[in-house]
Amino acid sequence: MPRAAAPPSSRKQARLEWDDLRYALALHRTGTFSGAGAHLKVDPTTVGRRIGVLEAQVGARLFDRTQTGCTATEAGGALIARAERMESEALALERELTGADERLSGNVRVATTEFIAARFLAPHLPRFAARYPNLTLFLASTQATVDLARREADVAIRLTRPREPDVVARRFCPVELALFASRSYVSERGRPRLTASDLRRHDAIGFATSRAFASENGWLEERLAGARFVMRADSVASVYSACVAGAGLALLPRLVADRDAALVHIAGAEGLEPRSLWQAVHPDVLKAPRIRAVLEFLREILSVEASTPADR
């Protein structure tokens, strides 16, 4: 007798979509639905729903949910490992396509701090727009180190040397700091003599108590012992604005502050190692004309900033 045909499977074969795997990667990396939602710019409930759909597709629980967050199960870990390899290949392809794009048009994303964007780059943008009418520059102000391999930005301008093994780094100019106060502060409180007895009547502005500002804070606290610290901020732009407003003494970049008529140079920062401006870019995108145009423009304007006399 002929063999009976096998009954069809009651469960459909799972077809995983890359978009669904992105949700799993985001949840794995952030540990919470809210964190994954913020990263993907969606509502946390959307993350939960998409993870549920993915678990139904593969027929296994991918994440254990607890009050403190979500952790990948054994099945989830296996899926994450493969998803990361897929992501790596997709990002590499995206970078290669960007590098092969011969058009001098489109968008270029430059990640840097708020202060560098506002004080070093933005004043030169009219000239950039006139030279490259078909390019749009996106300035992303952030204190965080962006991942160029993941295309979080095309170019990064930082105050610390890039340590990633897969980027091309270039040093521009040293950023020397000095102690400044506003003219209004000096007029009202007198010029600080920086002696122990004199500092008791002065106010100071410091940086956030984090490793990133350890050197600057150490210098300030040693030189200004006795002064009252009225504010601390993790933003150099905020420290600068507070100093201009007359809030107190502050360490500011001389490249900008020496040219500001609202400020008075009080003392140099002897003994404090100056920082440098560094440019970082992934080698895969270097050949793209729009990337090279931006890099050349950045080199041009930052070299001008460094060579312009700052001393008054």
Let me know whether 264 and 287 are in one domain: no
Q: Specify if 197 maps to a domain.
A: yes
d(CA 309, CA 312): 8
112 contacts 157 by C-beta, under 8 angstroms: yes
Express as a percent the part of the chain with pLDDT over 70.
89
Residue ranges making up the domain that contains 302 = 107-171+279-307
CA 105, 108, 114, 116 dihedral sign is negative
Into how many domains does the chain fold?
Answer: 3
Q: How confident is the model at residue 102 (pLDDT cuts 50, 70, 90)?
A: low
Please give the Cα distance from 72 to 18 (Å, whole number): 18
In total, the chain counts a number of residues equal to 312
Q: Quick one: 148 and 93 in the same domain? A: no
Q: pLDDT, tens digit, for every residue of 193-208?
A: 999 899 999 999 999 9
CATH number for the domain including 153? Answer: 3.40.190.10
E strand residue ranges, the chain: 63-66, 69-72, 106-112, 135-141, 155-158, 168-175, 177-182, 203-207, 228-233, 250-253, 263-268, 275-281
Q: Is residue 11 included in any domain, yes or no? A: no
| 62/58 Cα distance (integer angstroms) | 9
pTM for this predicted structure: 0.65
Q: Are residues 26 and 166 in the same domain?
A: no
The CATH number of whichever domain residue 68 belongs to comes to 1.10.10.10
* Segment 248-301, tens digit of pLDDT: 999 999 999 999 999 999 999 999 999 889 999 998 888 888 899 999 999 888
